[in-house]
Amino acid sequence: MIDSHAHLIWESFEPDIEEVIERAHSAGISAFIHPCVHTRDLLKMEALQKRFPNIFLSAGVHPCDAQEWTDECFDHIEQYKDKLVAIGETGLDFYHKDCAVEIQEEVFRRQCRIAKELNLPLIVHCRDAFEDTLRVLREESVGKGVMHCYTGNAEYSAKFWELGFYTSFSGCVTFKSAGQLRIDAAKIPIERILLETDCPFLAPQKNRGKRNEPSFMLEVCEVIAQVKDLSFDKVNEITVANTSKLFGLNV
Ligand SMILES: [Zn+2]
Ligand SMILES: [Zn+2]
C-alpha cells in the first residue's frame, strides 16, 4: 500500500519514527509521498529519505503559510527538482484563514506554474474553496495532480478529474459525522481515488484525536471498500496503481 500524503518529519514523530515506519511496513504500507508545508523542510525530508526506503518528496508551501513564500522557495525547489515527484502541498484554505485570500491565490498560482514547468503533478489542499480552486487550476491549465484530504462532493470530484486530478481520501471519510462524504465517495469511480493519512493529523475514527500514523490508513481503505462494495484487496490494488501512475513511482 502507499500512503499518498504523510508528514513524517513532524515533531511528534521524532521520538519513535523507526517504530512508526516499522508499524507501517507490518501493516503493508511500503511507500509514502511526503508533502511539504514549506520548502525549507526539504533538508529534513531528504535526511529521512536516506534513513528509510520509498519516501518520495514533494516541494511546496501550504496555503496557511502562503505569506511565508519568498524567492528563496524557488531556489529550494530548483535545488531539489530532480528528487521530487510532485509540487505541493499548495492550494486554498478559506476555512482557517491564516493567510489573506489574495496571497494564497498568488502563491498557489506560482506553484501551479512551477509544476507545469517541471512536468510534475500538483498536490492540492482545498478547504471550503472548491470553486476558486477549480478556477485557478483551469486558468493555469494544470493537467495533473491530486485533491488531497478530499472533503468536497462527487460533482466537484468529476470536475477536478476532467482536469487530470485524482481525489484522495484521508481519515475524514471514516468519521462518524462524515455520512455525506461517504455517500459522495461511493459515487466517485475507484479509478480516480487515492488513499492517504495526512498524518500526524486527522486520525481515522478508531483512533480519532490521537496522533495519526501511516498504519492507520487500513481503516481508510476498509471504508472505501465498504462504500464502493469492493474487496479491501481490490481497493488497495487499484489505488496503488493510481498513485504510482500519478507520481511516476516504481514500487
Ligand atoms: Zn493539507
Ligand atoms: Zn498535508
pLDDT by residue (tens digit) across 101-160?
999 999 999 999 999 999 999 999 999 999 999 999 999 999 999 999 999 999 999 999
The ligand minimizing its distance to the Cα of 38 is 2
Q: Name all domains of the chain by residue range, CATH numbers in brackets.
A: 2-247 (3.20.20.140)
Is a pLDDT exceeding 80 seen at residue 94? yes
- Ligand 1 centroid, distance to 63 Cα (angstroms): 9
Across the range 46-66, mean pLDDT stands at 97
- Ligand 1 centroid, distance to 201 Cα (angstroms): 9
Coil/strand/helix, residue 55: strand
Distance CA 158, CA 93 (A): 20
Compute the mean pLDDT over every residue in the chain, rounded to the nearest whole number: 97
- Ligand 2 centroid, distance to 89 Cα (angstroms): 7
Element (H, E) at 209: none
- Binning pLDDT at 50, 70 and 90, where does residue 100 land? very high
The fraction of the chain above a pLDDT of 70, given in percent, is 100
Across the range 219-239, mean pLDDT stands at 98
- Ligand 1 centroid, distance to 113 Cα (angstroms): 19
- Ligand 1 centroid, distance to 149 Cα (angstroms): 6
82 Cβ contact list (under 8 Å, min separation 6): none
- Ligand 1 centroid, distance to 37 Cα (angstroms): 8
Cβ atoms within 10 A of the Cβ of 16, count? 13
The ligand minimizing its distance to the Cα of 148 is 1
Q: Which amino acid is at 8?
A: L
- Ligand 1 centroid, distance to 233 Cα (angstroms): 27
pLDDT per residue as tens digits for the range 175-221: 999 999 999 999 999 999 999 999 999 999 999 999 999 999 999 99
Query: Hey, what's the cell of 149?
Result: 484530504
Give the pairing of strands 145-148 and 122-127.
Answer: parallel
- Ligand 2 centroid, distance to 117 Cα (angstroms): 23
Is a pLDDT exceeding 90 seen at residue 251? no
Place of cell 465517495: 185
- Ligand 2 centroid, distance to 88 Cα (angstroms): 9
- Ligand 2 centroid, distance to 13 Cα (angstroms): 15
Provide the residues around ligand 1 (an ion) whose CB is within 5 A.
89, 125
Q: Considering just the CA atoms, what is the radius of gyration of the chain in Å?
A: 17
Across the range 41-68, mean pLDDT stands at 97
pTM above 0.95, yes or no: yes
Q: Pick from 228, 219, 234: which is nearest to 3 by CA?
A: 219
> Would you say 163 and 138 are in contact if contact means Cβ atoms under 8 Å apart?
yes
- Binning pLDDT at 50, 70 and 90, where does residue 250 land? confident
pLDDT of the residue at 38: 97
The ligand minimizing its distance to the Cα of 64 is 1
- Binning pLDDT at 50, 70 and 90, where does residue 97 land? confident
Across the range 28-37, mean pLDDT stands at 97
